[in-house]
Amino acid sequence: MPRRLTLSRPAVRTPGPGEAVAVPAHRYRARLGALAAGAVPVLAFPAPGLAWLAWVALVPGMLFMQRAPGGREAAVRGWWFGTGFILTAMYWLVPSIGPALPVLAVLFGALQAGVGYGVHRLLHPPLTARRALLALAVVPALWLTTEYARSWHALGGPWALLGATQWQHPALLGLASAGGIWLVSAVVVAVNTGVLIVLTAAPWRPRAVAAVTAVLVLAAGPLLFALRDAPVRAGAVTVALVQPGIVDDPQARFDASARATAALGGRPVDLVVWGESSTTSDLDRDRVALDRLRELSAATGAQILAGEDARKADGRISKDAVLVSPAGVMDRYRKIRLVPFGEYIPLRPALGWIAGVSRAASENRAPGTAFHVLPATDRAGGPLPVGALICFESAFPDMARTAARDGARVLVYQSSTSTFQHTWAPEQHVSLAAIRAAETGRPAVQASLTGVSAAFDAQGRELARLGTDGTGALTVRLPLTAPGTLTWYDRVGDVVPLAALLVTAGSAVVVWRRSPRAGAQPSAAAR
């Protein structure tokens, strides 16, 4: 009887405890692809400004996550994708923090691991209509959870939130008036998820669900913009934004700002805004500098909001917005949210070495203790309460919302981006004022030492701009909304990210309950 020929499968050796597991080369290629894909969404932000790209920019990275061989590998690819995103979005920080940027990118990129796992878990083939519908809700929640987590000031702050890509589209910013920038981000991610499903799902049902949902959420912003009442106008004020240009010498910078302000004499100006750090004198002690500001205020007939970056009587340096009238200093606000590494070094005893290899802060600035509205007045003496915030604070939605609830009629941001000239940073920064205006239903202006200085109406529409190549005073007429006007976002706050946190937590519980119990013994049938 002939012998039967059998083919034996090579034995697969399971690595023992402590042994390294070899990663196939194709997985490294996929991870590098995910890293590169993380740079794609950044092109939708200023300065490239390809806002339309945001609606499909996540798809390449999500494809790498979806096609991963398992959930763990998908999470790793999500991590690499997040690392690539942070590296590209914040490349301009290299002069300030040097080698710390790659470290921060890896740390923040880890937050995207959950997105990678969720995309794979919900969207791996074969895809059903039910899982497609779940993905359209859960994936945006996962993404929003990562944005909200890294928006915590102790972790750096909310820079490069995906919804900010739509800053030039007031119809889409209508969503921000209801749910803040968070709702805009969620809609952008939902549309990307829908596009991925349409491109990759084989059955027609999940594709139909995804297509209809994407169209509906994409239309939500313009629909809300069309249906909601426009902010009720109640007068207008003329604001002058002073931009001295790139001036390294503090006294020369002060003098340039003074000359631009003096040229406003005879014009009907209600408020003059200087940039951040426009003076390095402590105006409580430097009588010469204060007297010069008082004279300028009297000559223009307008109060001046100066930016003070000075060493105070207690020996510490702080950054203040100082309101000056012909009578002297009326009030001041001290910056409470400092720029990590730029204005202080977290854990300085351990990380202080970064200052030696970069332009990171040589000493920590002293933060203020609380925000308050400055009681400015217009040229006729009427009340013009101002929410004055300094530079990086324009990134925080809750601060503008607090200013609105406290009665501010205008949001004023003082900025200095001279360190980041000829990068994407100035354009990224000024876009945030448009978003804060749309969120709060108040006009917003930004005065920068070196540009961009700009003004936006209560719906985020740009009214005037002075770019990084300009100097002088930019004068703009700002329509005001009625006192006490509040948007839905002003009233309800961060409901959208909190809902995303609940969805993320609920999803994690479901995954945990469905996973094999740790330590469970395999059944006899499985042995």
> What is the pLDDT confidence band of residue 524, given thresholds at 50, 70 and 90?
very low
Q: Which of 145-149, 271-275, 366-370 has the lowest mean pLDDT?
A: 366-370
Q: Which pLDDT belongs to residue 132?
A: 96
**What 8-state DSSP symbol labels residue 517?**
P
Q: Which of 35-49, 127-141, 240-254 has the lowest mean pLDDT?
A: 240-254
pLDDT tens digits, one per residue of 341-388: 778 777 777 777 777 777 777 788 899 999 999 999 999 999 999 999
Q: Which pLDDT belongs to residue 418?
A: 76
Taking residues 109-116, report their average pLDDT: 97
> What is the pLDDT confidence band of residue 226, given thresholds at 50, 70 and 90?
confident
Q: Kindly state the helix (H) or strand (E) to which residue 388 belongs, with its residue range.
A: strand 386-390
> What is the pLDDT confidence band of residue 22, given thresholds at 50, 70 and 90?
low
Q: Which pLDDT belongs to residue 517?
A: 60
Give, to the nearest 10 degrees, the angle between helix 129-150 and helix 495-514.
120
Q: Which of 44-58, 60-74, 182-196, 508-522 has the lowest mean pLDDT?
A: 508-522
Residue 9 has pLDDT above 50, yes or no: no
10 Å CB burial of residue 114 (0-12, 13-18, 19+) is: buried
Structure pTM?
0.90
**What 8-state DSSP symbol labels residue 98?**
T
Q: Which pLDDT belongs to residue 239?
A: 98
Average pLDDT, the chain: 90
Q: Which residue has the higher pLDDT, 5 or 379?
A: 379
Taking residues 434-444, report their average pLDDT: 97
Sheet hosting strand 444-448, strand order edge to edge: 386-390, 410-415, 444-448, 453-456, 462-466
